[in-house]
Amino acid sequence: MTYRVGVVGFRRGTGPAHIFASIPDCEIAAICDLDERVLAYAHEQFPGVQTFTDYSEMLRQDLDIVFVATPVPIHAEHTIAALEAGCHVLQEVTLANSMEQCRDILAAVRAHPQQKFMLAENCCYWAQVMAWREMFAQGLLGEFMYAEAEYIHEIGSLLLDAGGKPTWRASLPPIYYCTHSLGPLLMITGQRCVSACGLHTGSKRHRDLGHINMEVGIFQTSNGGVIKILCGFGVVREPMFHYYSLYGTKGTLETARPPLSLRTHAYLEAVPHLQNMIEIPLGYDVPGAPPQARLGGHGTAEYHMIQDFLQCIREDTRPPIDIFAALDMALPGLCAHESAINGGKLVLVPDWRE
């Protein structure tokens, strides 16, 4: 069988589209975007592909899979429509920008159990994250105690569109976009956040837009541990970076912030006579991956993510980042912002599994 893949939102969807196209049992059958210039570029990349500005029309093209890469405020609308059209869905992060929209996606996934839904959290597929997950599973870190993650990325140039109007990014609370940070930590440890507190800096750099510059969430986990996440998109700092640290009862793992090169620094009880942190050469890319694995634009991460998604379709198994894992990665951010606008008041994170 050849899976016919449609991509909605080709700016972000370009890299994943090339990954899908490189896989023998997949073909890029349709691309949808509102920008005709983007669609012209799509034809250059995929000659002969059908292109659309009307999403509902694209969904009538007998597709098997839809990759949703549109702006966060319309993720729910596009994911639900694809599920209702009988398609499997791989959806970009974050899940949605409100509790109501998250509930709507959950309801649609439950209403269409024959379709697979997976959140495209590519950071979970970095080599270092997958290695940390294996180390944790082997017991090298012991019981989870505490973790931190930071995502710092100046996006001032993306806050206004070509016409000078604020984009959706200008009004998105930074902590809503916590899945790049929180997602890997949850995948590594198997924890779930049960409560959240948050604080933010307000708008100090882009006062005219009201863009919140930085926001922090502190979460209690299901085993009584603590996770702290910092997201900052209105900052004076280059280059952008992701930072992670993890503390267990038997060891510690940390990454470095730029300008230092990405490496894992570790201290483990399992290493006898250790007197200092040791450096482990773990980076973003998985060694030995085929050349096409780098077509996604984020190293090898999206290749392995898409392979996992396709495997769950072929074998009719649960997606690695299914709807409940997606909710676990997204809802804490929504709750942390609710806390932040209420002076840091504790907010319980809902669990909608039952």
> What's the pLDDT score for residue 212?
98
pLDDT attached to residue 224: 98
Q: Would you say 155 and 169 are in contact if contact means Cβ atoms under 8 Å apart?
A: yes
Phi, psi (degrees; rounded to nearest 5) at 145: -120, -50
CATH number assigned to the domain with residue range 3-115, chosen from the 4 options 3.90.199.10, 1.10.1760.20, 3.40.140.10, 3.40.50.720:
3.40.50.720
Q: What is the pLDDT of residues 131-154, one digit of tens each?
A: 999 999 999 999 999 999 999 999
Where are the domains positioned within the chain? 3-115, 124-288+329-348
Domain spanning 124-288+329-348: CATH 3.40.640.10: no
Instruction: Please report the pLDDT score of residue 261 as a whole number.
Output: 86
pLDDT > 90 in the chain, percent: 98
Is 76 buried (19+), middle (13-18) or exposed (0-12) by CB count in 10 A?
buried
Q: Residue range 280-285: average pLDDT? A: 95
Q: How large is the average pLDDT for residues 40-49? A: 96
Is a pLDDT exceeding 90 seen at residue 27?
Answer: yes
Distance, CA of 112 to CA of 276 (rounded, Å): 52
Asked if the model's pLDDT at residue 277 lies above 80, the reply is yes
Contact (CB, 8 A) for 196 and 217? yes
Taking the mean position of all CA atoms in its chain, how far away is CA 351?
Answer: 19
pTM for the whole structure: 0.97
> What is the pLDDT at residue 80?
98
Q: Is the per-residue pLDDT at 354 higher than 80?
A: no
Q: What is the DSSP string of 221-243?
A: ETTS-EEEEEEESS-S-SS-EEE
Residue 85 has pLDDT above 80, yes or no: yes
Confidence of residue 198 (pLDDT cuts 50, 70, 90): very high
Q: Return the bridge partners of 242, or none.
A: 151
Average pLDDT over residues 107-119: 98
Q: Which residues lie across from 241 on neighbouring strands?
A: 152
Per-residue pLDDT reduced to its tens digit, 288-337 = 999 999 999 899 999 999 999 999 999 999 999 999 999 999 999 999 99
Give pLDDT, residue 166. Answer: 97
